[in-house]
Amino acid sequence: MTTTLPTTPLTPTPATATPARSWLRRLGPLGVACVVILGIAVLLAVVGPYLPFLDPDTTDLPNAWVGPFQLPESPLGLDGQGRDLLSRLIFGARTAIVGPLIVLVLAMTFGVAIGMIAAWRRGWLDSFLNFGLDILFGFPGILLAIVAAAVFGGGLWAAAIALSVAYLPFIARVVRNAAVKEGNMEYVAALRVQGVSAWAISLRHVLPNISPIIVAQATILFGYALVDLVAISFLGLGVQPPNADWGVMVNENLIGVIQGYPLPALAAGLVIVTVVVAVNVLGERLLDMSEGRR
């Protein structure tokens, strides 16, 4: 005689959200929109030169200031020198993205190193490094970039290096304060009792735990660097014409605003504002998430 065991109906288990979906959900619709905008800007900066657009440096003076959709090959029209506006906006994304990235890589590399050393060594070394950071805080980035341009000549690299020096104390101070707070946690004391070296604790445990704060701060500084580099190019000290750059485009087409052709200057300005707002909003969202407020 066989007996049958009672069976319970199988209930489907709810699908767990992937880390990417969970991260996007925490960002919210506004944060996701900012990610999309920045993704498009980065994509254009990478693949823009390979897209089938007109040469951004080719001039057509008889058709200067031609408006949108008046030429089939130029949907946004031409600037004051007869160059395709859409092509220059797309090619200008390269310097707009690469320049701030250079600033962040340099500032993050040295700022994180200084902040971690100050947090772990403490004592006179911490006081000395903080004194040096206080001195750097007194130099505006634009001023350092102007000095660098006067000494080394105009260009993207001179301006980017100068701005990285100006942004370094912001990163170093944030990393130092976060590392000091993390260093007072119980697990750090336990690792020290076990004989784990300070470098191992810093690189394997403390730095990964404070990385969300660092990423959020770096995102916000990316927007500041973009604005500063655009301003430096506008002043003629950064990217030099006729290279396509958003700051250069605003400077070159200011005369068009007076003459009744505002689109070339306003289009570059609108792109700058859109990308900077997206970066700042995303940075604030990431900072809120790292601090557990969302």
The per-residue pLDDT string of the chain (294 residues; one tens digit each, 9 = 90 and over) reads: 444 444 444 444 444 456 667 777 888 888 899 999 999 999 998 998 888 888 898 888 898 999 898 888 889 999 999 999 999 999 999 988 999 999 999 999 999 999 998 888 777 888 888 888 888 888 888 888 888 887 887 788 888 999 999 999 999 999 999 988 888 888 888 888 888 887 888 888 888 888 888 888 888 899 999 999 999 988 888 888 888 899 999 999 999 999 999 999 999 999 999 999 999 999 888 888 876 644
Write down the pTM of the prediction: 0.83
Structure tokens at 106: 């340099």
- What pLDDT does 13 receive? 44
Domain ranges of the chain: 34-49+72-290
- Annotate 113-151 with three-state secondary structure: HHHHHHHHHCHHHHHHHHHHHHHHHCCCHHHHHHHHHHH
- What pLDDT does 146 receive? 83
Are the beta carbons of 231 and 247 closer than 8 angstroms? yes
- What pLDDT does 134 receive? 86
- What pLDDT does 20 receive? 65
- What pLDDT does 277 receive? 94
DSSP 53-77: ---TT---GGGTT--TTSBTTBTT-
The CA angle 265-268-273, to the nearest 5 degrees, is 120
Are the beta carbons of 224 and 167 closer than 8 angstroms? yes
CATH of domain 34-49+72-290: 1.10.3720.10
- What pLDDT does 19 receive? 66
